[in-house]
Structure 1
Amino acid sequence: MEPLAVLTAPLSTDLSPLTRHLWAERVVHRVVESGDQQILLLANPADVERIRELLEEWRDGELGEPVAVAEKEENSLFTRLKSTPLTLFICVALILVFGWQHVSADWISWLKNGEALWPEGRNQLSTYVQLGLWGLWRHTILHLSLVHLVFNLTWILVLAGAMERQKEHLAILVLFLFCGLSGSVLQWWISGPGFAGVSGVVYGLTAWTGLRQIRFGVPYGIPKALLGFVVFFMLLTITGDTLIPGLSGIANGGHLGGLLCGFLLAFIWPVHSSIKRENDEPR
C-alpha cells in the first residue's frame, strides 16, 4: 500500500508539534523533503480523520502537548492495579504471610487448632466458641504451596479488582471475613483441622460478582459463564470425593462454605441506586 500524502508545507514550517502527537498516538507516518517543500505521509488511510482533527488544532494554534497512549489506556495493567489499592494490599499481605511461613514454624500450630476436639465435638457450639473466630479464620491466609497461592492471587486480582472498580471496598472486606470464616467452619466440621488457603474467599467473590452481575446488572465485566463453571467444578470434586474419599485433595467444605456465604451476602447487600435506575429504565 502506497503512503498517503496528507500535508505539504514549506521547509521553514515546524511540524514537530504535529508529529509528536502522531507518535504519541502511534500513528505511523513519515515526513520527507521534496525540493523546498516537506510532505507528511500517512501509512494507514484509516487514520485520515484523526489527522484532520489534529491539523485543524495545529493550524489554529490549539494543539497542546501530547499525552502518551500508554498513559491514556484505561485498561492497561498498571492503570488497573493503580485503581485497586485494596485488592493489591490484600495480595501483598498474602504473599508476605507465605514468606513468613518459610522463615518461621509458628504457623504450624494454627493448622492443629482443635485437634483434640474433632470429631467428637464438631456438633457442639462450645467447640467453635473454644476455637475462636481468629483460630478458625486464620486458616484463610495460609497457603501450603506456591501454585495454590498464585492461583488464588490471580482470581483475587480479577474478582476483587472488579468489585473495587465499582467502589465496593467495604463489601470486599466483609466477604474476606465472612466467606473465610464460613468456609473454615464448614471445612473444620467436615474433616477437622489441617487445611489452609483463601479459596473459600475466592468462591465467595465468584458468587458475589456472578449473582449481582446476572441479577442486578452490576457491570463487573466478568464472564457470566464463570459462575456456572465454578459451581459445576465444585460439584464434580464433591462427587468424586464422596465416591472415592480423598480423590481430589481439595477442601470442598471451604469452597462450599465460601460460595454459599458469597451468595447470601450478594443477595442481601444493597445495590447502588445509580445501577438500580439504569436497570429500571425501559429498553
Structure 2
Amino acid sequence: MDTDLDLSGFSVWLNQQGVRHRISEEDGQKVLWLEDPKHTEPVLHALDQYLEKPEVRDAVSKVNRSGAQGGGRWQPSAGQAPIVLASIIIAAVVAWATSLGQSQLTTLLMLVDPQQYAWNSLAERLAAFSSTLADGELWRVLTPAFLHFSWPHLIFNSVMLWFLGSQVECLDGKPRLVALFLVTSLVSNGLQFAVSGPLFGGLSGVVYGLLGYCWLSQQRQARFQFPPALILFAVGWMVIGFTPLPVWLGIGPMANEAHLGGFLAGLLMAAIVPPPKKSPA
C-alpha cells in the first residue's frame, strides 16, 4: 500500500474489534501485519471497503468516536442505506393507508383479490394467481411484503430489516440488496400463498431471507455484525411458529411458510452468489 495512505482511523477500528496488528513502512510501502492469520480474509475485505468507499470511512470514524465514548457496534447511517430506509417508509405508509389491513385498499395489494377469486384449494389458488398475472396486475407479487396488520409487527420487521438490510446495502452494495429483496419476497410470498391463500402480509419473509443470507455468507467472508444468538433465536421462533404455541399465547397464527421460504431463499442466494470481491492489501 502507498505510504501516503492514512490508515490511522482503520487501525483504531481494528483495535476496537480486538484485532491485534501493526502497520509498518517497508521499501516505500505500508504493510499491515496481523497477529492471527484467521483475521486475514475479513480484514482484507474491510480494508478494501475503507479505501474505496468514503461512506465506509465516515462510518469507521463514527465507530471510532463511539468507541472512545464507550459506544457499541457499527451500524450504517440512513444515508448509507437509502433503499432499506425507503422500504421501511413504504411499509409504514401502506400500514397507514390500509388502516393496518382493514380498508378495501388491502385487497389491491394482496397476491390475488380474495373477494374476486376462490382460493380454498391449491388448484383454485394457482388458477387465481394465473388469472391475476394475465390481467397485468404484476405488482401483487411484491406488495404483500409491505402489508402489515399491527403496529408491533411493522415495528419489529422494520427494526430487523434496518439492522440486517442496511449492512448488506452498505457492504455488499445496492444491487445485491435489491436482488435479495426481490428473490426472498417472491419465494416467501409464493410459498405462503400456495399453502394458505392470500390473507397474509409483512416483511418477515424478507427479514428471514436477509438473516439466512448474512449468516451463511458470513461463513465464507466475515463482514457483517450481528450477535450469533440471533440466528438461533430466529430459527427457534420459526420452528415454534409451526406449533400451536403462538395461538395458545394469544399471538395468533403466523405466516410460517413465508418465514421458511424467505430463509431458504436467503441461504440459496448466499450459496450461489459469491461474496463481494476484495482487492489485496
* 8 Å Cα contact 2:184-2:261 kept in structure 1: yes
Unaligned runs of 5+ residues in structure 1 are: 1-69, 279-283
TM-score, normalization by structure 1? 0.63
Q: Which of the numbers 170, 174, 190 marks the counterpart of 1:185?
A: 190
Q: Distance in 2 between matches of 1:218 and 1:253?
A: 29
Q: CA 1:200–1:129 in structure 2 vs 1: closer, same or farther (change >3 Å)?
A: same
Contact kept, 8 Å, 1:210 with 1:227, in 2: the verdict is yes
Q: Partner of 2:151 in structure 1?
A: 146
Q: Which has the larger radius of gyration?
A: 1
- 2:200 aligns to what SS in structure 1? coil
Q: What's the TM-score once normalised by structure 2's chain length? A: 0.63
Q: Distance in 1 between matches of 2:60 and 2:246?
A: 52
SS in 2 for 1:273: coil
Can you list the C-alpha shifts for 1:62-97, whole angstroms capped at 9, x where unaligned? xxxxxxxx9952376996223222222222222222
Q: 1:265 aligns with which of 258, 263, 269?
A: 269
Shift of 1:161: 1.0
Alpha-carbon distance change, 79 to 128 in structure 1, aligned in 2, over 3 angstroms: closer
Aligned to 1:82: 79
Higher relative contact order, structure no. (Cα contacts within 8 Å, ≥ 6 residues apart): 2
- Say if 1:242 and 1:191 are closer, same or farther in 2 by CA, change over 3 A: farther
User: Deviations 1:28-78 (Å, cap 9, x if unpaired)?
Assistant: xxxxxxxxxxxxxxxxxxxxxxxxxxxxxxxxxxxxxxxxxx995237699
Structure 2: distance between partners of 1:162 and 1:78:
7
Distance (Å, rounded) in 1 between the aligned partners of 2:107 and 2:130: 21
Q: Does 1:199 align with 2:188?
A: no
CA deviation string 1:216-257 (max 9, x = no partner)? 12311112332222112111221337998x984111011111
* Mapped partners of 1:86, 1:124: distance in 2: 32
| C-alpha distance after superposition, 1:184-232 (max 9, x if no partner) | 111111111211111100100110111111x212311112332222112
Equivalent residues of 1:209, 1:222 under 8 A apart: no
What pairs with 1:218-233 in structure 2 (closer than 5 Å)? 218-233=222-237
1:168 correspondence with 2:196: no
Q: Does the aligned pair in 2 maintain the 1:240–1:247 contact within 8 Å?
A: no
Amino acid at match of 1:148: H
Instruction: Name the counterpart of 2:51.
Output: none
Q: Aligned residue for 2:215?
A: 210
CA contact (8 A) 2:148 2:201 kept: yes
Alignment of 1:5-20 (within 5 A): none
- In angstroms, what is the RMSD of aligned CA positions? 3.3
Match of 2:94 in 1: 97
Aligned residue number for residue 136 of structure 1: 141
- Match in the other structure for 1:256: 260
Aligned residue in 1 for 2:120: 119
Matches of 1:95 and 1:143 in 2, distance apart? 9
Q: Equivalents in 2 of 1:226, 1:176: separation in Å? A: 20
Question: Which amino acid is 2:232 matched to?
Answer: G
Instruction: Describe the shift of the 1:78–1:267 C-alpha distance in structure 2 as closer, same or farther (beyond 3 A).
Output: closer
Distance 2:268 2:206 in 1: 13
Q: Which runs of 5+ in 2 are unaligned?
A: 1-58, 67-73
Q: CA contact under 8 A between 1:184 and 1:254: conserved in structure 2?
A: yes
Please identify, of 194-203 and 89-98, the stretch whose mean Cα deviation from structure 2 is larger.
89-98
Segment drifting more, 141-150 vs 119-128: 119-128
What whole-Å deviation, never above 9, does each CA across 1:136-169 have from its counterpart, x for those lacking one?
A: 3211111111111110110011000111221321
Distance (whole Å) between structure 2 residues aligned to residue 152 and residue 263 of structure 1: 19
Is residue 108 of structure 1 aligned with residue 112 of structure 2?
Answer: no
Contact 1:122 1:189 survives alignment (8 Å): no
With over 3 angstroms needed to count, the CA separation of the structure-2 counterparts of 1:199 and 1:242, relative to structure 1, is closer
| Structure 1 residues 217 and 72: CA distance shift in structure 2, 3 A | closer
For 2:82 and 2:274, locate their aligned partners in 1 and report how far apart those are by CA, in whole Å: 23
